[in-house]
Structure 1
Amino acid sequence: MNDEQKMIARACLEGAETNTMTFPQIVGKLMDAGFESYAVDFRRATATYYLPDGASVELPTHRIGLPIAEAFDTGLVRKAISEAQRLVPGYTYKGFCNKAVAAGCVGYIVSFIGRRALYVGRTAETHVEHFPD
């Protein structure tokens, strides 16, 4: 992984956390830089960006100030995703993360080649969200 790719990963994370980039913009920028996926871990407050050859860069994310709910509530996860997709008034990425954690989500994986995101609960329950067409 080269320095430019690391810089792009950092810029995309910052863009999400400061609400200056949308999810489709982030996906496009990361794909153009050669990334195939990334994973966000709410427990460790990290985001890891992966290249097809296995190289990765792990970056610190903002800390969620809430405990992760014990039960994984797929309905609440879907609602948070829907709000993000529609960019409802007042939407923020940090607000999305808070809602995901309150729904029992410990993190998520985004696969560009699979065109989906996988949200994971504390007991390894999952919700798969396919990218809209």
Structure 2
Amino acid sequence: MDAHQESIARRCLEGAEANTMTFPQIVRTLMAAGFEGYMADLRRATITYHLMDGDGIALPAAKMADGIAPRFDAAAVQGAIKEAQSLVIGYTYKGFCAKVMAAGCAGYIVSFSGARAVYFGRTAETHVEHFPSAA
């Protein structure tokens, strides 16, 4: 990974946490820089950005005060995703993370080539969300 790609990964994480970049903007920016996806580990508060050659970078993310619920509620995770996709009034990425964690989401994997994100709980229950056509 070169310094430019590392800078882009950091800028995208900062943009998400500061609500200055939307998910579609982040996806386009990372893809243009050669990334194939990323994984958010909500338990450890890290985001790992992956390049196609296997290289990547793990960055610390904002630590959420509340823990992850023990039971995975796929419907609640999907509701939080729909709010994010609609950019409802008051939406923030940190608020999104808090909602999915309260729904038992321990992390998620975003695949650009697969055009989907897989949200998973503590016991590996999953919810697969395909990118909207505009992403």
The one-letter code matched in structure 2 to 1:124 is: A
SS in 2 for 1:36: strand
SS of the equivalent of 1:80 reads helix
Partner of 2:12: 12
Partners of 2:64 and 2:125 lie apart in 1 by 20
Asked if 1:101 is matched to 2:101, the reply is: yes
Q: Secondary structure at the match of 1:40?
A: strand
In 1, Cα distance between the equivalents of 2:130 and 2:45? Answer: 24
Residue 67 of structure 1 and its aligned partner are, at CA, apart by: 1.4
1:41 maps to what in 2?
41
CA-atom RMSD in angstroms: 0.4
Once the two structures are superposed, the pairs formed by residues 11-30 of structure 1 within 5 Å of their partners are 11-30=11-30
Query: Identity across aligned pairs (percent)?
Result: 65
3-state SS, counterpart of residue 35 of structure 2: coil
- List runs of 5+ in structure 1 lacking aligned partners: none
TM-score under structure 1 length normalisation:
0.99
How do 1:1-133 residues align onto structure 2 when only pairs under 5 Å count? 1-133=1-133
Residue identity in the other structure for 2:58: E
Equivalent residue of 2:118, what SS? strand
CA deviations 1:28-76 (Å, max 9, x no partner) are 0000000001000011110000000000100000001111101000110
Per-residue deviation, 1:129 = 0.1
Q: Distance in 2 between matches of 1:55 and 1:45?
A: 20
User: What letter is aligned with 1:26?
Assistant: I
List gaps (5 residues or longer) in structure 2: none
Distance 1:68 1:36 in 2: 27
The count of residues paired between Structure 1 and Structure 2 equals: 133
Paired amino acid for 1:121: G
The ranges of structure 1 where at least 4 consecutive aligned residues each deviate by more than 2 angstroms after the TM superposition are none
In 1, the alpha carbon distance for the partners of 2:100 and 2:64 equals 10
